Structure 1
Amino acid sequence: MTDLAYVIENDEDLCLIFGEALMAANYRVETITDGLKARQRLQEEIPHLVLLDLHLPGLSGEELLTQIRADARLAKTIVVIATADARLGDALREAADFVLVKPISFTQLRDLTTRLHNL
C-alpha cells in the first residue's frame, strides 16, 4: 500500500507542485488548504508524512504542528515545514523533522521525500 502524505498549504499552485513531487516519490497525496480542515483530516486518517506551511487560514501551521506533536497517534508521522520565513522555521526546527525554506524546487522536495519514504 502506498503511504499517505498531506500537503497542508494555502497556495494552490504550491499544492500542485508539492503534490507532484510527493507523487514522484511514490506517495498517495491529499492536499488541504486550511488549518482547521487539516486538523480534522489528521483525526480521520494518519499520514506517513505532512508537508506543512506555517501561514494557514483557520488554524496556523505552528498551532497545527503543536497539536500533531501532542497526539500520540501521530508520533511516527514525519513533519516537514515549508516556509518563506526562515527565522520562524528555525524556531520550530526542534518540533519538525525537517524545515525547508521557500522557494523549494521540485527536485529538492522529490529527493527529500524519496529518502523519507524509505524510512
Structure 2
Amino acid sequence: MRLTTFLLPLAAAPLAIGAPEPNPVAPRAPASTGGLLSELPGILDGVQDLLSKDTINNLEIIVSGAAKLLASDNIDVLQDILTNAHSLLTKEFVDNTTTLIGDATPLVEDVSKLLGGVLGTL
C-alpha cells in the first residue's frame, strides 16, 4: 500500500505538467487605436446642436404638416395625383416638352424685343 501512495502522485505529475494552472493575471488590454470612442465627444457635440430648441420646433412644424397632408381625406387625392403624374411624365413627353421649350425660347425673346420697341414709341 505504501508503494501505491508513492506511485499515484508520480503518475499524476505528467498530467499536471502538461496542463499547468492558468496565469491568474489577465493580459493587457489592446492599445486604443482611436475609433468611435475617440470620436464620441465630437459626435455628442453634433447631437447637441441637432437637438437645439429651434430644430425641435422645426421638426414639430414638419411633423404636424405631414400629418395634415397624410390625413385620411387626402390619401385618395394624393394617390390620384401620383398616378396621373406617373402616366404623364413619360420619357417621350419630357423630351417633347424640352424640345418645345428650346424652340419657343427665341420666339419669346423676339416678341419681347418687339413689345419693347412698340412700348418705346408710345
- Short-chain TM bin: under 0.3
Structure that is richer in helix per residue: 2
**Could you state the TM-score of these two structures normalised by the residue count of structure 2?**
0.15
Of structures 1 and 2, the one scoring higher in RCO (CA 8 A, sep 6+) is 1
